[in-house]
Amino acid sequence: AAAGGVIEWPTASYRVDSTIYFSENTKTDLCKSTVLGSGNVSFASGYLSGGAVIANYGTANTCDKASIENGTINNSNGIAFKLTNFRFYCYIKDVVCLNVAQIVVADNCFYSRYENLIYFGASDYVSGVADTTLGSPTIVVTNAIRATLTSSMEVISRSEEHTSELQSQSTI
């Protein structure tokens, strides 16, 4: 995604075999689309360099005022979002993640927001964001100051035929 502006995906299912990088000042609206990943990282923060958006992990480059919302990621046990320096006025919201090992891996993500991230695991079970899959935390946040995680999801286990509501909000 080029630096700056609004990117609206036409509603469809997309097969993505490599990471999609987005840079600062970019709002990405998936418009209820489904991204079918290949087990790697689906979306990652980046920065504009020489006319192309490249990964910013391992660098000091920021990805401020960026967001992704309103879609589904099915990623064959990969990572939905790998975020570095995803900071001021940044958010990810209203995203359903299917078959991912981790929803968000965030490092140095100050003041970022994560709202209504819903996870369906490979076992046909909807789990809360604090559960683990494949031995890894579903959301990993390091070096965050005042990052906000808000979730409102329904926890369903089809095999046990029970439903319960899970509401939580925490500031890291």
Whole-number Å distance between alpha carbons of 83 and 127: 22
Q: How many residues does the chain have?
A: 172
Q: Looking at residue 54, what is its pLDDT?
A: 94
Burial readout 138-148 (b: 16 or more C-beta within 10 A, e: otherwise): bbebeebeebe
Residues 6+ apart with CB under 8 A from 23: 1, 2, 3, 4, 45, 46, 47, 48, 53, 63, 66
Q: Looking at residue 121, what is its pLDDT?
A: 65
Q: Do 103 and 116 form a contact (C-beta atoms < 8 A)? A: no
Whole-number Å distance between alpha carbons of 71 and 89: 20
Q: Looking at residue 141, what is its pLDDT?
A: 56
Q: Looking at residue 47, what is its pLDDT?
A: 94
Q: Looking at residue 24, what is its pLDDT?
A: 94
Q: Looking at residue 14, what is its pLDDT?
A: 95
Q: Do 3 and 26 form a contact (C-beta atoms < 8 A)? A: yes
Return per-residue pLDDT of the chain as tens, 172 residues: 455 799 999 999 999 999 999 999 999 999 999 999 988 899 999 999 998 999 999 899 999 999 999 999 998 778 899 999 998 899 999 998 888 888 888 888 878 888 888 877 644 333 333 333 333 444 555 554 445 555 444 333 333 333 333 333 444 4
Kindly report the pTM of this predicted structure. 0.75
Whole-number Å distance between alpha carbons of 47 and 76: 26
